[in-house]
Amino acid sequence: MIPEPLLGITHLYKSFGSTVALEDVSLDVDQGEIVCVLGPSGCGKTTLLRLIAGLETVDRGDISFAGRDTSGIPVHERGFGFMFQEHALFPHQNVAQNIAFGLKMADLDHQAVHNRVAEVLELVGLAGMSDRSVDSLSGGEQQRVALARSLAPSPRLLLLDEPLGSLDRALRQRLMSELRNILKEIGVTAITVTHDQQEAFALADKIVVMDAGRALQTATPETVYRRPNSPTVARFLGLVNLLPGTIIQTVPLVVQTEVGPFPIPGTCPASSPVTLLIRPEAASIGSNSSSIQLDGTLTSRSFRGGHYQIEVACPAGPSLTFELRADPSELPAVGESIQLHLDPGAISLLPTERVR
């Protein structure tokens, strides 16, 4: 028997006047799972978080937690924790006092508060900093204090709204894996929202890609990246090599595009128009027996540390962008011809986009 999800969201709708914020959103969240709601600004992801928290009321649909309808449960009785982008720390209080705020609201005695503050400070890597002023902390340290404060009351569900959004790129990269490790260590169920694809991939067990109030795809990070279910999802993930195509052979599968024919793994029952996705890591200089040859002109190259980002203009069709791991001596000069070999495993078919 499959256990019920800890959090169940069914056919959720929410509007603000004539603006539709959420349209028919459904989602299940299991105990201990980290779910990331990913989408551009204005897609409805923060509204979804606020509905779960009880800070907004549902127009239609249901939200249940631990098998109980949440519609009649006040915010303060839900036992949920919150962490927001702005930290919202009290500048006139020290680290321990900020973390203890929610514990004191729960009427815990002084010793219990002291013990719990020390415990969560150890968890977030700030042991021994109880007496520090929050104004003296770095941005990353303030973010850890905000996380410790949200974890201190042992929430049944943790809601995080762009938790790393105010940090610079280098610090955000470092805290991504640390935040996931902390959440997994204590086993808290968490829902976080972000517009940053890399943050979502680093944090989540499951990603919900949203756009214009709708949940377009819900799957593991690996599935969302390797098999996006629509061109819209692919574009939002930064996957720009999208070629309109037609299936001209089903066994083996061959797709005709303006760049040329592509034999790719798998089967497809229909001959209707499709979109061919070529992921940026598909290209290499060397060939093998299963690779697909692509000839073109190198129009740009940019060193990105572990790889070169290159753009290749094909004799017909659009330019294609790749992340190429190659020795500089293997790359021709910009403006010269280049021969690439594409891994069929990094090529997939997407259904034709439905017009809403």
Total-model pTM: 0.88
**CATH of region 7-235, choose from 3.40.630.30, 1.20.58.1880, 3.30.420.40, 3.40.50.300:** 3.40.50.300
Tell me the percentage of the chain whose pLDDT exceeds 70: 95
Give every strand in the sheet of 292-303, ordered side by side: 283-284, 337-342, 292-303, 308-313, 319-324
In the structure, what pLDDT confidence band is assigned to residue 190 with cuts at 50, 70 and 90? very high
Question: Quick one: 266 exposed, middle or buried, by C-beta within 10 A (0-12, 13-18, 19+)?
Answer: exposed
In the structure, what pLDDT confidence band is assigned to residue 10 with cuts at 50, 70 and 90? very high
**pLDDT attached to residue 215:** 97
What is the rounded CA–CA span in Å between residue 200 and residue 12?
Answer: 22
CATH of domain 240-351: 2.40.50.140
Q: For the chain, give every domain's residue range.
A: 7-235, 240-351
**pLDDT attached to residue 269:** 60
What is the rounded CA–CA span in Å between residue 238 and residue 224?
Answer: 12
In the structure, what pLDDT confidence band is assigned to residue 90 with cuts at 50, 70 and 90? confident
In the structure, what pLDDT confidence band is assigned to residue 24 with cuts at 50, 70 and 90? very high
pLDDT digits (tens, 9 = 90+) for 94-103: 999 898 887 8
Tokens of 86: 């702005």
**pLDDT attached to residue 326:** 81
One-letter amino acid at 68 equals R
pLDDT digits (tens, 9 = 90+) for 217-269: 999 999 999 999 999 999 999 999 999 988 888 888 889 999 988 888 777 76
